[in-house]
A and B are shown apart, each in its own frame.
Chain A
Amino acid sequence: MEYNLDVTAEELKIFLDEAEEQIQRLNEGLLALEKNTDNKLLQDIFRAAHTIKGGAATLGRVRMTRLAHALETALNRLRNGELHPEPRLIDLMLQATDGLNELCHELAGQEIGDLELDPLRVMLENFVSSQPLVSETAPTPNTLIPLASHLLPLTSQEQIEAQTALNAGLTFYQINATLAPDAFLPAARLLQLYFALLPLGHILKSNPTIEQIEQEEAGTTLTLIYTSGSSTTEIEAVLEVATDVKQWQLDRFDPAGLFNLPLVETVVSTEVNPLLSQSTESLALSSSSHDEIQEATQDVKATAAAAANSAEGKTIRVNVAQLDRIMNLIGELVVNRTSLTHIAKKLEDSGEKSNLVGELNETLNYLSRITDDLQENMLKTRMTPIENMFRRMPRLVRDLARQMGKEVDFILEGEQTELDRSIIEEISDPLIHLLRNAVDHGLESSVAREEAGKSRIGHIKLSALHQDGAVFIQVEDDGRGISPAKVRQKALDKGLITSEAAARLTPEEVLNLIFLPGFSTATTVTEVSGRGVGMDIVRTNVTRIGGTLELETVEGQGSRFIMRLPLTLAIIQALLVTVQGTHYAIPLGSVTETLRVSSSDIQTVEGVPLVRVRGKFLPLLTLEKALGFSPDPKSADLNTTLDYTIFNEEYDPFERQFLSGYDKLFPVVAVRFDRFQVGLVVDGFLGEQEVVIKPLGWYVGEIPGLAGAMIEGDGRIALIIDIPSLLRATLRGDQAQLRASLSSLVNNNL
């Protein structure tokens, strides 16, 4: 049963955004709690649960409210030291957090899986209530008195006030004051005392109530639940000087008793308190979920507003599509600026003597600086700390470790490292895979670790680091490492390499075999990893965004996967080359070197031209051919009368010239992908440049071998080459000869 409260889409979105953050905080907090119990931390996650509860209540989500309440109760008892953060409890609380997350998804209109929330909630509640009070066995240094029962129960409003006080870290006191029997105007004295205490704290509840005192329906004693941030001495001073107070007592008490009052009826029935209206109070509490909903609402709205205010002025949320549009517009601006520069140049060349030419150039210079600055700043806005993605990982590792029965200490480093948000999205899956591998295959069982003389608890470290214009992300474990011998055997068993080739491989080269498709080192397929899709997918994903993935491992000591990523995807450093009048951009990340190869140095092996570079053979391929341009020019005589060249009938001059034996220097760009290296023959080098990548457009879509297009300063379009997919397409394509030579190259070199 859910209430349909009047909530706008905007409010719902705010709630969901907020809830997402709180859930993340809960997840992190609960994990941290497992390691050490820290009151500030408990306070923090308690507040997270509380905020979700309040928000859910506002929206009339009963299931969410109840679940959050159960979680809050458990956290409260942990905070009061009545429970230990044992793994089973953390499990339940994490599951409850998952449940909240699912309910949020449901609220967002998504399908949710079969999550048995009610049983989960009951389990959590039972667990919490069945635990013996820890405080009984381990008394806290400050002796806390039980609360005078005639002050109980609290109304839901008072509970909320108490909660607020608790959240604010105030101390709870019970104050008992008795007036001298001969006190003049006892009601006035009590009232005096009541108001004297107000500046130092908050009176949560008083017996008799303020109304009763005012109407002189009070006796000579006053009992208060008092919350205060002031020191005990200060409060004592107030009590000390109060007129006509014969006797007073100030005691701290445990506020936990204020909240866990599910059994209202018994409390009420065993207590004789004529001053409290039994019927109304019990009614208020029995419908507490509803009341709480109403009242918690106020509380939460205020908190949310305060949070929103404090964040304002620092950050705003911006739609990513909007950022992309701005990014594109800036690209346009840069292109047009270049056009303007061309025009200014033409004016100058035409002999125009006007002062305006100088002014134009000056303005253009200024414009250039502004646009460069604008572009740079825009790029920065796309950068976000990797933190948001990293934060999900501790939970993942913990759950896996529990599932595998392993003990893992997970360390995060460099969460503040900034990366283009689109890159962060791309590497999330590969990282999860690497972490899974580390827990599943990397770390040994606790027993095996002890036998090997290692600490019982395994360590996994996920770190990010900004260095040399790139971001390095590492997944490190101190597990068993990877054995080259086993990898070699496995690759042989799977028929991935021949035994002759295997015999020639160095240990480093053997390790690289784990990145081959179909390779998986796990001898048994587990639920966690080893489903056959393995490291090759991880490497492919990393390579696709211009990154590299390397492995370092020492048998018996651990493994380290090192991911090197570009800072941004939108702009890359590229080498511009020209072929047949068309310009191409080759991302610098894939380029190993540029050379000029003399045709006399070229040998032909199995029909493939090769050149020897520092002892290794580099197969040569013209860029046009690699891209898969058909040898027959399209629309043959299309533009013979046009003053620019679109197509050139003379296809592949390299081959023609090479075959003719005419001695010539060919510009070659050596590129690499994985273990493959190929020399791409071009007509000329144009230099390095920062390149803004644009998609090829809806009509053309994605083309193997191309990452996109760029608009050059003069408005022409150059194609951006994607080396990994280009080489993969070449290897798979119909260029059998090249493929043959490449694979033989691999066998020779590996």
Chain B
Amino acid sequence: MSEESKETANEDILEKLRRRNAAQGASNTQRSEVRQRFLAFRLDQEWFGLEVQQVKEISRLDNVTRVPLTPEYVMGITNLRGNITAVIDIRGVLGIEYQALTAQARIIVAGVQGLEAGIIAEQVKEVVEVVKSQIEPPLLTLGHERGKYSSGVVQQANRMLVILNLNSILADLKI
């Protein structure tokens, strides 16, 4: 995979997201209910959401260099435009079975306050808009770890979206 096409692919996805955000943001102000937008991505059969504001970039999974003496969930480090960025695979942490990563796999670069990391997604689908009041607290049945790293769940037409708490993921899983 050349640098060039990788960049283009990223730019395309990001650009689409931005446009959609802008459109939704415009309509958002006219509604009384507070809405939030999440980037929906898939791990195994489940869907997770990250707050769109926290997502900086979506990148193809390319040339991750593994780093010794790091926990299992640290896949390694990769070069994102000259920045060395950690790539973490939260599947193990969330108790999700490992599936072989395919060409659909992406790195979602997300972060808070300038501290960013790449999170492995088996597939990145779309940005979904959710009415805030529809977000329910994390299910107790999710188990300890999953409860810790999610801030809520939203039932959608055909799936359940688990909203991830990026703050606690980055803070807790930092080496």
Contact = CB atoms under 8 A, between A and B. Distances in A.
A339 B3 contact: yes
Contact of B72 (A634, A642, A704): A634
Contacts of B61: 642
Contact of A699 (B91, B98, B102, B115): B115
Nearest to A712: B79
A719 to B, nearest CB: 6
A698 B85 CA distance: 8
Contacts of B76: 646
B108 to A, nearest CB: 14
Contact of A705 (B69, B81, B91, B102): B69
B69 A709 contact: no
A717 B100 contact: no
A704 B69 contact: yes
Interface string B140-175: 000000000000000000000000000000100011
Interface in B67-125: 67-70, 72, 74-79, 81-86, 88-89, 91-92, 98, 100-103, 115, 117
Contact of A635 (B3, B85, B98): B98
Interface string A634-659: 11111111101011000000000000
Contacts of B81: 332
Contact of B4 (A328, A343, A582, A634): A343
Contacts of B4: 343
Given A328-B82, A699-B174, A634 B75 contact: yes
A346 B2 CA distance: 10
B65 interface: yes
B93 to A, nearest CB: 12
B84 A696 contact: yes
A641 B99 CA distance: 11
B85 A331 contact: no
Contacts, number: 111
Nearest to A329: B82
B66 A335 contact: no
B68 A705 contact: yes
Interface residues of B, number: 40
Interface string A663-700: 00000000000000000000000000000001111111
Contacts of B65: 582, 709, 716-719
Contacts of B68: 624, 627-629, 703, 705-706
Task: Pick the most buried of B3, B74, B84: most chain A CB atoms within 10 A of its CB.
Answer: B84
B66 A694 contact: no
B66 A582 contact: yes
Contacts of A696: 67, 77, 84
A641 B101 contact: yes
A219 interface: no
Interface residues of A, number: 44
A730 to B, nearest CB: 12
Given A635-B98, A638-B100, A701 B175 contact: yes
B79 A715 contact: yes
A582 B92 CA distance: 24
A335 B100 contact: no
Contacts of B2: 342-343, 346
A197 interface: no
B98 A637 contact: yes
A332 B82 contact: yes
B75 A635 contact: yes
A711 interface: yes
A717 B64 CA distance: 8
A699 B109 CA distance: 13
Given A627-B69, A700-B70, A716 B79 contact: yes
A641 B102 CA distance: 6
Given A342-B2, A717-B78, 9 more contacts: A627-B69, A638-B101, A642-B102, A646-B64, A699-B170, A699-B174, A700-B74, A711-B82, A715-B79
8 contacts: A582-B65, A624-B68, A638-B100, A639-B100, A697-B85, A700-B77, A715-B63, A716-B79
Minimum-distance CB pairs A-B, first 7: A699-B86, A627-B68, A717-B65, A332-B82, A697-B84, A716-B63, A628-B69
